[in-house]
Amino acid sequence: MKNVELKGIIPPIVTPMNDDDQQSVNLEVLRQQVERQLAGGVHGLFPCGTNGEAFILSTKEKEAVIETVIDQVKGRVPVYAGTGCISTADTIYMSKRAEQMGADVLSIITPSFALASQKELYDHYVAVAKHVNIPIVLYNIPARTGNKLLPETVQALCRDVDVIMGAKDSSGDLENLKAYIRLTQELPKKVAVLAGNDGNILNCLKLGGAGGIAGRANLYPATVASIYDKFVAGDIEGAEAAQASITGIQRAMKLGNPNTVIKLATRMLGNPVGEPRRPFNYLCPEGIEVLKEVLAEDAKMGLH
């Protein structure tokens, strides 16, 4: 198995799109965003995550996005490819393709729409893992998928499957994150738990977690990366200040779909990433005004 240290701030990079009728994927701007993130000092990149709108990309588009990010990164940081699909067969296909293209890690979201038992989720991940030989990070985001990956299931999968080396918890439930960390720390192998909720990055680190997959790094890669860098350097006060500084955008997220807000904000900061793919592209007028206010406040604080 490829030896990859799972740690730090890994942005789920937005997927830029052209302003044409099909909102086709803009791979050239994607390359620019990769360079922008790397210049900010992030510790990995995650194409085809929730903020990358993987849920609305075709298989060919996902392959193109993953391949482009891997090619542009050129080994400078690990690439965590999002390969989770609803069916086990499709997840196996995407995971094998990502490994073939040179991904370092697979981030595999739980199946969605239909309610799955913990046994079905366990069996799903075990089946996928048999077909790849790079680390897998489990991805729990029950508000979006309808399926919660329980801490005990995470522990069992990390215990029983060699290539399952981490878990991302985007539940927003701090107690669930604590349980992921506590139960995986009982295992003989090292397991990386990553916060999927940006507000819990520092909490995760303080509890013994490895970092965060942070959507807000699309806006301010250097600021978000500094949460991790300051923490590992022993500058807890600095890490706390950096963590507190990225809270403003939450005001806008209360008024719309969070990843829609992130992409719109990324565009408003001068990055030509296009709009979110229809129909998930609307933020109410109040939300737009709040977003403008937040970005202005962030600029005065020097977020970048």
Question: Which residues belong to the active site?
Answer: 139, 168
Q: CB neighbours of 250 closer than 8 A, spacing ≥ 6?
A: 199
CA 202, distance to chain mean position in Å, is 16
Q: Which long-range contacts (CB under 8 A, 24 or more apart) does 83-89 make?
A: 83/48, 83/107, 83/108, 84/108, 84/109, 84/110, 84/111, 84/139, 85/111, 86/111, 86/112, 86/113, 86/114, 87/111, 88/124, 88/127, 88/128
Beta bridge pairs of residue 9 = 212
Task: Kindly state the helix (H) or strand (E) to which residue 136 belongs, with its residue range.
Answer: strand 136-140
How far is the first Cα of the chain from the last one, in angstroms, to the nearest whole number?
36
- The strand order across the sheet containing 192-195 reads 8-9, 211-212, 192-195, 164-169, 136-140, 105-109, 80-82
Q: How many residues does the chain have?
A: 304
Q: CB neighbours of 282 closer than 8 A, spacing ≥ 6?
A: 256, 260
> If you ran DSSP here, which 8-state letter would residue 107 be given?
E
Q: How many CB atoms lie within 10 A of CB 38?
A: 16
HSE-up (13 A, CA, CB side) for residue 8: 26
Pairing mode, if any, of strands 105-109 and 80-82?
A: parallel
Token pair listed for 185: 């720390």
